[in-house]
Amino acid sequence: MSSRRPAGLRPVWLAAGVLTVLVSVVLGLAFGSVSLPPGGVAVEMLNLIPGVRLNSGLTEREVAILTQLRLPRVVLGLIVGAMLAMAGAAYQGAFRNPLADPHLLGVAAGAGLAVTVVIVLGATAKGGTTELPIGVPMAGFAGALGAVALTWLLGAAGGRDRSPATLILAGVAVSAFLSAAQTYLLQRHVESLREVYSWLLGRLATAGWHDVLVVLPYAVITAAIVLAHRRELDVLTVGDAEATSLGLHPERSRYLLILAASLGSAAAVSVSGLIGFVGIIVPHTLRLLAGPSYRGLLPLSMLFGAAFLALTDLLARTMGGEAEIPIGVITAFLGAPFFVLVLRTSRAAPV
């Protein structure tokens, strides 16, 4: 084994990540059903800084579109993308599995079942509805965390040892059970299919800053915990025995990271629906390009994950004409080929 320490966060990659985020924000704000000049958008964003007043050339109506409609959606996309990508990288390090992603422990299945229950109950109470009930985000959050807790308990059912392989198998079992329950509900309430699938396919539509304010505290807590333990993920890659000899408590560190990543994933899912593959596409691409060290991989995953989802949302809003394409459909089209790439490279590259 080489004694050379893995490279940390290199300034060139940090600068590239920040620049990519800025470009994605300007493009996401400039283009849509009404196109705005990117230069004017950039200037108007500078006007949000206290004390700065520049002439952007935008009309009052265009400024309203920019700040009241598009900006909350773009910011929400940045937060959700950052959380999903960082959670994916954390899962991959904790499980030492390049195919791990935020849905591994039943996050998607738990959120999907809880949201289905809320939508079905809401449609029954109102005699049918075309609007998502107001409790959908909270239901998604509670369902996702509940599924993770169930996976955790099931993983310990055979004894005290919660190995990564045991947790993965428990997550598969929990996901299968919850998905079956969701399918049964949908089969009994077919009138709610459209509303349920509009959420399951993922969306970033927001009527203001409410969703951003809901998810932001969880995003801050998750990022603080995971980034504070990024060096420990590098140590975990050498194996539990050697990590223990280096003074690390592998089991405690692993479960803290899993719980923090699950918290961020649940919060993201609650406001965006089920957007898959972000936690695989972004970390794995960065691992190939910028190196495997989690000291650099985690912050870069946040930056490029944020930009990736903002740009993907732009495609969802513009590719389908008047009918917006569900963002989960686009990420699935992009993410499916990555399974082939990961399988071909996972033996050659450390996780």
Q: What is the reported pTM?
A: 0.89
Sketch out the chain's domains with CATH numbers: 27-58 (no CATH), 59-345 (1.10.3470.10)
Check residues 98 and 217 and name the one with the higher pLDDT. Answer: 217
Look at residue 168 and give its three-state secondary structure. helix
Closest to 84 measured CA to CA, from 271, 320, 301:
301
* Predicted confidence (pLDDT) per residue in 324-348, tens digit: 889 999 998 888 777 677 667 655 5
| pLDDT higher than 50, residue 71 | yes
Distances from the Cα of 204 to the Cα of 74, 212, 252, 328, angstroms: 8, 10, 35, 10
User: Which has the higher per-residue pLDDT, 159 or 239?
Assistant: 239
- The label of the residue with tokens 């308990």 reads 153
The pLDDT tens digits of the residues spanning 20-49 come to: 999 999 999 999 888 999 999 999 999 988
Q: List Cβ neighbours of 316 (8 Å cut-off, separation of 6 or more).
A: 204, 324, 325, 326, 327, 329, 330
Residue 333 half-sphere exposure toward CB, CA atoms < 13 A: 10
Identify the three-state secondary structure at position 101.
coil
Asked whether 192 and 52 are in contact (CB, 8 A), the reply is no
What is the average per-residue pLDDT within 240-267?
A: 88
Per-residue pLDDT for 5 more than 80?
no
Q: Which two tokens stand for residue 34?
A: 């009404």
In 3D, which of 197, 206, 198, 191 has the Cα closest to residue 122? 191
DSSP per-residue letters across 175-240: HHHHHHHHHHHHHH-GGGHHHHHHHHT-----SSSHHHHHHHHHHHHHHHHHHHTHHHHHHHTT-H
Which residues, 6+ apart, have CB-to-CB distance to 208 below 8 Å? 68, 72
- The pLDDT of residue 162: 62
Q: How many residues does the chain have?
A: 351
Distance CA 74, CA 85 (A): 16
Arithmetic mean of pLDDT over the chain: 86
Please state the φ and ψ torsions of residue 241, each to the nearest 5 degrees: -65, -50
Average pLDDT for 206-227:
90
* pLDDT interval class at 301 (50, 70, 90): very high
User: pLDDT value at position 29?
Assistant: 95
Q: What is the pLDDT of residues 82-134, one digit of tens each?
A: 999 999 999 999 888 877 888 878 998 999 999 999 888 876 555 544 455 66
Q: Which among 67, 59, 1 has a CA at the least distance from the CA of 29?
A: 67
> Which residues, 6+ apart, have CB-to-CB distance to 183 below 8 Å?
none
